[in-house]
Amino acid sequence: MTRLWLRWALAAGGVLLAAAAAAREADLARIRDPAERLQAVKQSLAPGQADTLSEHDRVVRRDLLVSTLRELKRGDELRRMLTDWEQADASAERRQQWAFLMAESLREDAQPEAALAAYERVFTAHPETSTRWPEAQARIVDVLEKSGHVGDALKAAHVLWDAAFDSRAAAQRIADLLQSADKSPARADAVLAMQRYGPAGKDGIVGTADDPSPVLPTLGYPDGTARRKAFEAVAPTLGDDADASLRRGTACLYAGDPRAALRHFADALRRCDVASVGEVSRSVMTGFRALRGHGSGLDAVGQFIAYGPNGPAGGTRESGVDDPFAAVGLGEGSRQPGGLVPLSADELGAMQSLIRELKEAAGRHGSPGRQIAAIDAYRRTCEALVVFDRQEVLAWVLGALTRESDNRVLGALVRLGQAAAKSNQLNLAGVQKFEGAVTQVFDGEHQPVPEEVLNAFRLTDRTVKALEKVPPLGKTGAASHRAKP
């Protein structure tokens, strides 16, 4: 009883402390006079005081300090602080945030050249996280246009369009710039028509008079050398999972290299499990859109990912779905463990040793929780390897299904099998075939398919239905990663 009371008291104390901190932040923000507010916030961030603050409270007060200095137009003082914070902050996202605010301050102080260089640093000095890249790229377009460099602004806007979650807004930005540059609506109208109808125009027939001219390829890209160098330096450190591949692909988009971006997005699709296919597919479609210069045909990409080359009926190749990846030279699977980030011999040996241990742990019947943890870790090795003996893994999973009775363990085994069937593939056809084999196992045992196994099947069904609904010219989005990005 005492322990329960103590636990409640500690929890309540934490809530009270959080409420008190929020009240203090609100008190500071309510100080109307900016000079008085500045002094109060500075005092709260003084060395003796700041040491008593949580990390969250410290960041909140720094944000308030930034907004107050901007209000007072004390740019030099603000930039000195931002420089110190960027160098000392332990968080990569916040370091990038301080760098972005540095560029904002220079823009507000009418220093366009310095601002452009500072916005570039958001990419080149902080290539490990993409949180502020969309805003920084949009600001680069704004600064270039305001400075009268419309041609350069169009190139920067091309990058913005490639990476945009909503390509329609970015296309409108390009059209506005073209209208300003040309004093004629021809190219602007062509960009919007391409965005709305695709290369076949409103009538949907290629080769007729209403086909819009492809304007985006004529704009070109900014010199992406510095960005590529920074991105390439950090790329090996991003990890060996699907999210890391998405982040590499996003970096390539912002460096003006959509073909390389699609290659990394395809790598993410080859290594991700079923639960991630929906998110990864959105990035894949962004890559196709950027490479083609329009969003037409994305529904066909979704159909291929959902069903593979034989289409929804599982028929012959002649009656199936064209492979959009093969059309751009990305149809062949990875040839080496690790995909586009190949594993060294030592890493591969360690991974194979780990798999043996995980198989042993997954077969022990002491604790379902430990079994599931081992199976999930095995699934993670599939994501890292990409290339392995898929049939061996699937045979092991199907054999294990007959030896297990715990519903949760069976579900984990099927999710592992789905990941193995999916690995190094650009579609879900192999997963659907594996699910049919699982159903046969339970039919052979004269048992109903367990609920956790059915839940795994339902995830595939939901993913397929979502891919079927991809609009031909709808929104697509690059990973923000989970971006985590």
List, for residues 406-436, the tens digit of each pLDDT value: 999 999 999 999 999 999 999 999 999 999 9
pLDDT at res. 251: 98
Greater pLDDT, 211 or 478: 211
157-172 residue pLDDT tens:
999 999 998 789 999 9
Mean pLDDT of the chain: 89
Percent of the chain with pLDDT over 70: 89
Task: Name the residue among 285, 266, 325, 287 with its Cα closest to residue 162.
Answer: 287
SS3 181: helix
Q: Is the pLDDT of residue 17 over 50?
A: no
CA–CA separation, 159 and 178 (whole Å): 15
- What count of other Cβ atoms lies within 10 Å of the Cβ of residue 265? 32
H helices of 109-241, where? 112-124, 133-146, 150-163, 167-182, 186-197, 216-219, 225-234
3-state helix, strand, coil in the chain (%, to 5): 70, 0, 30
Task: Name the residue among 140, 163, 162, 161 with its Cα closest to residue 152.
Answer: 140
Predicted confidence band at 474 (pLDDT cuts at 50, 70, 90)?
A: very low
pLDDT at res. 4: 57
Task: Name the residue among 252, 294, 273, 265 with its Cα closest to residue 168.
Answer: 294
**Which of 179-183, 389-393, 440-444, 468-472 is least confident?**
468-472
Rg (CA), the chain: 27
* CB neighbour class for 112 (10 Å; exposed up to 12, middle 13-18, buried from 19): middle
- What count of other Cβ atoms lies within 10 Å of the Cβ of residue 324? 23
Q: Is the pLDDT of residue 275 over 80?
A: yes
Q: Is the pLDDT of residue 221 over 90?
A: yes
**Which of 220-234, 235-249, 379-393, 470-484 is least confident?**
470-484
Mean pLDDT of 304-309: 95
Predicted confidence band at 29 (pLDDT cuts at 50, 70, 90)?
A: low
pLDDT at res. 25: 53
- What count of other Cβ atoms lies within 10 Å of the Cβ of residue 150? 16
Mean pLDDT of 231-248: 96
Q: Is the pLDDT of residue 315 over 60?
A: no
CA–CA separation, 262 and 351 (whole Å): 27
**Which of 39-48, 184-193, 248-257, 271-280 is least confident?**
39-48
SS3 185: coil
- Give the count of alpha carbons within 13 A of 458, CB side only: 8
CA–CA separation, 440 and 29 (whole Å): 64
Greater pLDDT, 54 or 449: 449
Q: Is the pLDDT of residue 402 over 50?
A: yes
Mean pLDDT of 230-253: 97
Predicted confidence band at 90 (pLDDT cuts at 50, 70, 90)?
A: very high
**Which of 40-54, 97-111, 116-130, 453-467 is least confident?**
40-54
The encoded tokens of residue 304 equal 């291929």
pLDDT at res. 299: 93
Q: Is the pLDDT of residue 93 over 90?
A: yes
Mean pLDDT of 306-312: 91
Q: Is the pLDDT of residue 1 over 60?
A: no
Greater pLDDT, 483 or 235: 235
Q: How far is CA 38 from CA 51, 78, 333, in A?
A: 19, 11, 58
Predicted confidence band at 181 (pLDDT cuts at 50, 70, 90)?
A: very high
pTM value > 0.85: yes
Predicted confidence band at 485 (pLDDT cuts at 50, 70, 90)?
A: very low
What are the residues whose beta carbons fall under 8 Å from the beta carbon of 411, sequence distance 6 or more?
Answer: 450, 452, 453, 455, 456
Q: Is the pLDDT of residue 403 over 60?
A: yes
Predicted confidence band at 19 (pLDDT cuts at 50, 70, 90)?
A: very low
What are the residues whose beta carbons fall under 8 Å from the beta carbon of 24, sequence distance 6 or more?
Answer: 44, 57
DSSP letter for each residue of 247-311: HHHHHHHHTT-HHHHHHHHHHHHHH--GGGHHHHHHHHHHHHHHHHTS-TTHHHHHHHHHH-TTT
Predicted confidence band at 40 (pLDDT cuts at 50, 70, 90)?
A: confident
What are the residues whose beta carbons fall under 8 Å from the beta carbon of 138, sequence distance 6 or more?
Answer: 160
Predicted confidence band at 3 (pLDDT cuts at 50, 70, 90)?
A: low
pLDDT at res. 30: 73
Helices and strands in the chain: count of H runs, count of E runs: 24, 0
pLDDT at res. 145: 98
Q: Is the pLDDT of residue 361 over 70?
A: yes
Q: Is the pLDDT of residue 317 over 80?
A: no
Q: Is the pLDDT of residue 236 over 90?
A: yes
pLDDT at res. 313: 72
pLDDT at res. 7: 53
SS (H, E, C) 418-450: HHHHHCCCCCCHHHHHHHHHHHHHHHHCCCCCC
